[in-house]
Amino acid sequence: MNKLRNFCIIAHIDHGKSTIADRLLERTGTVSKRDLVSQVLDDMDLERERGITIKSHAIQMHYLAQDKETYTLNLIDTPGHVDFTYEVSRSLAACEGALLIVDASQGVEAQTISNLYLAIEAGLDIIPVLNKIDLPSAEVDRIKHQVIELLGCADEDIVLASAKSGIGIDEILEAIVKKIPPPTGDVTNPLQALIFDSVFDVYRGAIALIRIKNGTLREKDKIRFFAHDNVYEAEEVGILGMKRTRTGVLCAGDVGYVVGGIKDVHDTKVGDTITTVKNGTTEQLPGYKVVKPMVFSGLFPTETEAYEGLRDSLDKFKLNDSALVFQPETSAALGFGFRCGFLGLLHMEIVQERLYREFNQAIITTLPNVEYIVHKTNGKQVKIDNPADMPQLGDIDHIDEPYVRAQIVTPSEYVGNIMKLATEKRGVYINTTYIDETRADIQYEFPLSEIIFDFYDKLKSTTRGYASLDYELIEYRESDLVRLDIHLNGEPVDALSMIVHRSKSYDWGRKVCDKLKDLIPRQMFDIAIQAAISTKIISRTSVKALRKNVLAKCYGGDISRKRKLLEKQKEGKKRMKQVGNVEIPQEAFLAVLQID
């Protein structure tokens, strides 16, 4: 166990986490250079395209250190986006140390700080690494200074590296061996194994990725999970190399996997503890905070017949993404679909995109919203994650909405822009600290609903891409909120309802009406578009009836062409949703997202 090191890498997006990981794998001979598809750990196409890690991964390496001893290193990868903070904390619990990667040009960013705090909270030893030091824009001394300020470490503790050029890779490996403690735990104690991730394999069922904290797990052991009463046999046990490698046994300190013919992925709950039936322990390891979705939206198949297929897709999806929650929803406008909960907007986009790519499902997504707590006049409280479920105005005493504490790291010249944006978004200023002379760390409190749509994009554009954002949920606070309904030809369209702050409702009402006017094509009848709060119409516009749509000529040689055009239009029509007499294009349901 003395020759074992479990570590993870934490970094802000694009600071080079995946490339560092690639170099470590290459240097230790875990993968040959030839086989190295750039960024081995990001194995979803989407991850590579977007340059972000979505799921945790783990991989084992062997390293012959300068002390002539061979060490086993388990690298557990972590995602770097704010939506996936929970995945980070999962990985941290399986490690004793962490590499903190900071881009030598960009410096300390919001996720650097937030992930670092998570790692320190989890009791990990931190190895600071400055990456990309050979770029012309690198400011090694300045960024070093930032890191020292942040960590309180010594200058010489910081490893200078360039993953791209292979600089500092040996130094990183030596630091891992020297500075990260070996795992503690006793192989003779009863088994305590922490599930830090699970994957689903169509042939083998749910596979738990585990870190053994105490005891030994052998194949044929009868195992038990704390979260439920099902007992399984450990059919296969092994380590996580480039592929799963069967070893038959895992001991305290090891990171590996267990296959047990587990059909239901819910049985391998991330954060749960596994022990043996015989001589097991009754002591459960501290689990994770249960991940709570923060953003909710309706997903509806474009074709009603596809409902069952969408359910199957979501079920399958959930096998590998425990953060996704969903339940059936019925909308008067969109028919049968699902109300889904996501960790954030990026998570929502990823789910949508993956449903489309992997399951071939075209779906309509409704406007995302947060979960509200409605205090009714009869003293009862209800949680509302769908504007359509909002009680009658007369039954509402008041509404609470979730607030987040946001941390924005920015070059100091943009502080003014950010404050302006924050005011628009109902932000409450807390304070500003300076990381160094040029970088400010601004703290704000925001209603979550204000930052889930476009806040991040606006922040980026108002700071020319330099600011970074991190946030965490703090509490629910009372707010003056109203439900804004959209009526088309006098009929409310439930899927277009939204909950907004009263002070913004008139402005929103007008903008949504205008946007819908642009998005809804002219049809055979006038379409009245109205925004309403309860029974009061606060804004209105209309789409004038189409006055002319007919091809002037259709003679003998035109008929086939005209028919084919019609067939194409019929296909296009399938992607429209008919609500009453009105045909609504899919993108209209997300119209609000396109409003400035």
Partner 1 sequence: MKESGLYIHVPFCEHKCIYCDFYSIITTGKVRDYIDALKREITYYQPLYSESRFFSSIFFGGGTPSILAPDLIAEIIGALYQSYTISGDAEITMETNPGTVDESKLRAFKLAGINRVSVGIQSFNDADLKFLTRVHDSQTAINTIHTLRECGFENINLDLIFNLPGQTLEAWTKNLEEAVKLPVQHISAYSLILERGTILYKMQVEKKVVISDDDFDAELYRETISFLSDNGFEQYEVSNFAKPGYQCRHNNHYWQYRDYLSFGTSAHSFMNGKRWWNNSALTFYLRSMKNTGHARSGEEIITPDEMHDEYIMLALRNSGIDTNDYISKFGSGWLIAKQPEFDKLLSAGFMKNTEGRLQMTASGYAVCDEIIKRLL
> What is the binding site for partner 1 (CB under 8 A)?
523-525, 546-557, 559-560, 562-563, 566-567, 569-570, 573, 581
**Between 332 and 566, CB nearer to partner 1:** 566
**Between 357 and 573, CB nearer to partner 1:** 573
**Between 220 and 548, CB nearer to partner 1:** 548
Q: What is the DSSP letter of 580?
A: T
Whole-number minimum distance, CB 567 to partner 1, in Å? 8
Whole-number minimum distance, CB 565 to partner 1, in Å? 9
Among the listed residues 539, 533, 529, the one whose alpha carbon sits nearest the alpha carbon of residue 501? 533
**Between 14 and 303, CB nearer to partner 1:** 303
Whole-number minimum distance, CB 577 to partner 1, in Å? 15
Whole-number minimum distance, CB 528 to partner 1, in Å? 16
**Between 37 and 554, CB nearer to partner 1:** 554
CB neighbour list of residue 34: distance below 8 Å, 6 or more residues apart:
none
**Between 136 and 557, CB nearer to partner 1:** 557
DSSP conformation letters of 523-576: -SS-EEEEEEETTEEEEEEEEPPP-----S---TTTHHHHHHHHHHHHHHHHTE
Among the listed residues 86, 79, 88, the one whose alpha carbon sits nearest the alpha carbon of residue 51? 79
Task: Give the C-alpha separation, 106 to 466, whole Å.
Answer: 8
**Between 327 and 549, CB nearer to partner 1:** 549
Whole-number minimum distance, CB 303 to partner 1, in Å? 17
| Cα-Cα-Cα-Cα dihedral sign, residues 255, 260, 263, 268 | negative
232 DSSP β-pair partners: 223
Task: Give the C-alpha separation, 198 to 208, whole Å.
Answer: 4
Structure tokens at 325: 């929650």
Q: At how many degrees (to 10) do helices 415-424 and 455-462 cross?
A: 150
Q: Give the C-alpha distances (Å, rounded to integers) separating 406 from 11, 238, 450.
A: 18, 41, 12
**Between 380 and 561, CB nearer to partner 1:** 561
Task: Give the C-alpha separation, 199 to 290, whole Å.
Answer: 18
Whole-number minimum distance, CB 546 to partner 1, in Å? 6
**Between 473 and 545, CB nearer to partner 1:** 545
| Cα-Cα-Cα-Cα dihedral sign, residues 381, 382, 384, 387 | negative
Whole-number minimum distance, CB 541 to partner 1, in Å? 17
**Between 528 and 533, CB nearer to partner 1:** 528
Whole-number minimum distance, CB 582 to partner 1, in Å? 12
Whole-number minimum distance, CB 352 to partner 1, in Å? 29
Whole-number minimum distance, CB 561 to partner 1, in Å? 10
CB neighbour list of residue 220: distance below 8 Å, 6 or more residues apart:
233, 234
**Between 38 and 569, CB nearer to partner 1:** 569
Whole-number minimum distance, CB 550 to partner 1, in Å? 4
Q: Give the C-alpha distances (Å, rounded to integers) separating 283 from 185, 214, 269.
A: 14, 11, 17
Q: For residue 572, which phi and psi values (nearest 5 degrees)?
A: -60, -35
What angle (nearest 5°) sits at the alpha carbon of residue 132, between those of residues 61 and 103? Answer: 95
CB neighbour list of residue 406: distance below 8 Å, 6 or more residues apart:
427, 443, 444, 445, 446, 451, 469, 470, 471
Whole-number minimum distance, CB 493 to partner 1, in Å? 20
Task: Give the C-alpha separation, 440 to 419, whole Å.
Answer: 12
- Determine how β-strand 192-201 pairs with β-strand 273-276: antiparallel
**Between 228 and 562, CB nearer to partner 1:** 562
Assign 130 to helix, strand or coil: strand
Residue 252 · residue 215 · CB < 8 Å: yes
